[in-house]
Amino acid sequence: MDLIQGFEKRDISLLEENVFDILDKEWMLVTAGVKDNFNTMTASWGGFGILWNKPVAIAYVRPQRYTHKYTEDNDIFTLSFFGHGNLREELMFCGSKSGRDFDKPKETGLIPVTTPIGAITFQQARLVFECRKLYADDIKPSCFIDSSIDSKIYAAKDYHRFYIAEIIGYYEKQS
């Protein structure tokens, strides 16, 4: 697997993105694992912010996802964005099929590459965040203040595990 090429590592303070828009509309791939043993899935729920004096990203992964095993077993994951309207079929594939049953890069043509710290992303990405897990927990039904969310989103009781992670690398594809 090749090292990420054509990207510039930048300071997170230079990020110029509407994070609500890119999460909700562009979607992202959450990828965890190492060369020869990783998985990726499409996600649109997440967050970016400042916590414990660090720039952080939050990813939400339901327990039945194959990716869950990888986000649990690895300290690092990446969040990769591909541009508005780009690679929709590929992102739908990664968001509807499981890595248990399919080799997602092979099926989609997404080209896995490693970041300098050995995290996995994809050559076609335009924006990549390397994330180091700081804190993880599961959404707890007893903690809902608005209980309508519980019945609406978690009918199957498949409460997301969430990972608050330090953004340790931010890469932009150079045009």
Ligand X SMILES: Cc1cc2nc3c(=O)[nH]c(=O)nc-3n(C[C@H](O)[C@H](O)[C@H](O)COP(=O)(O)O)c2cc1C
Residue ranges in contact with ligand X by CB under 6 A: 27, 39, 41-45, 60-62, 65-67, 92, 95-99
Measured CA to CA, the distance from residue 112 to residue 37 in angstroms comes to: 11
- Closest-by-Cβ residue to ligand X is 95
Q: Give the distance, in angstroms, between the CA of residue 174 and the centroid of all CA atoms in the same chain.
A: 21
Q: Give the distance, in angstroms, between the CA of residue 136 and the centroid of all CA atoms in the same chain.
A: 14
Measured CA to CA, the distance from residue 71 to residue 16 in angstroms comes to: 27
CA-only gyration radius of the chain, Å: 16
Q: Which is nearer to ligand X, 66 or 144 (CB)?
A: 66
CB of 139 to ligand X, least distance (A): 11
131 by DSSP, 3-state: which? strand
Q: Which is nearer to ligand X, 7 or 70 (CB)?
A: 70
Q: Which is nearer to ligand X, 60 or 144 (CB)?
A: 60
Q: Which is nearer to ligand X, 11 or 89 (CB)?
A: 89
CB of 60 to ligand X, least distance (A): 5
CB of 115 to ligand X, least distance (A): 20
Q: In the numeric block, which tokens belong to residue 162?
A: 């969430």
Measured CA to CA, the distance from residue 31 to residue 38 in angstroms comes to: 7
CB of 72 to ligand X, least distance (A): 12
